[in-house]
Structure 1
């Protein structure tokens, strides 16, 4: 649980886990494929999602649009199994290394990041598929 009284130095370099949630009670969570290190998804976690992720070993998120907790893969079977959770210096963001059980994106793509933005292109046609 968050501890807003923890001094910055202790939060930044000490062993105490004291997540720093934003004003909406959320942390940013970046999920990487544990094998390839490809970014799979960026989503948000509240305290309950983080607690369930740690307890079950499967990634849970907080849906801002539905205002509800969700287990990634609950309907598709494409769970994200946690291998490691890294915490940033001020404890307001997480990087989760996970083993995906299938495509991560709701579109069926392996990753939610399947398009590249062409820096020089007109915004009307600025996106193209990632080339592997």
Structure 2
């Protein structure tokens, strides 16, 4: 009223049991890198949670470079909702952009990928 307004922040969430956060993020894990996403919600009408990402589309690839942590291949099935879902790879370069699409119980989401300014570990000799 009278040229006054009020801004109220609110969060909108799909009417689904479990939804992912808006962004993937990379976490160093020893010799590997985990690409993780936070999950929100709980199982109300379902008895299990099925999560997966698309497989690599590199022709002739004989070894899978990425796998789901505690899963089989690029899939993970469980009866409880974990705080995060993570993929494991040798370094951030093996995660293809097509792997960003996450399917949770037949609903597909496309969270944003980590920022382009990724960290890359580097070893240098003391004498240069």
TM-score greater than 0.5 by the shorter chain: no
If asked which structure has higher relative contact order (CA below 8 Å, sep 6+), I would say 2
Normalising to structure 2: TM-score of the pair?
Answer: 0.29
Larger of the two Rg values belongs to structure:
2
TM-score (norm: length of structure 1): 0.29
In proportion to residue count, which structure has more helix?
Answer: 1
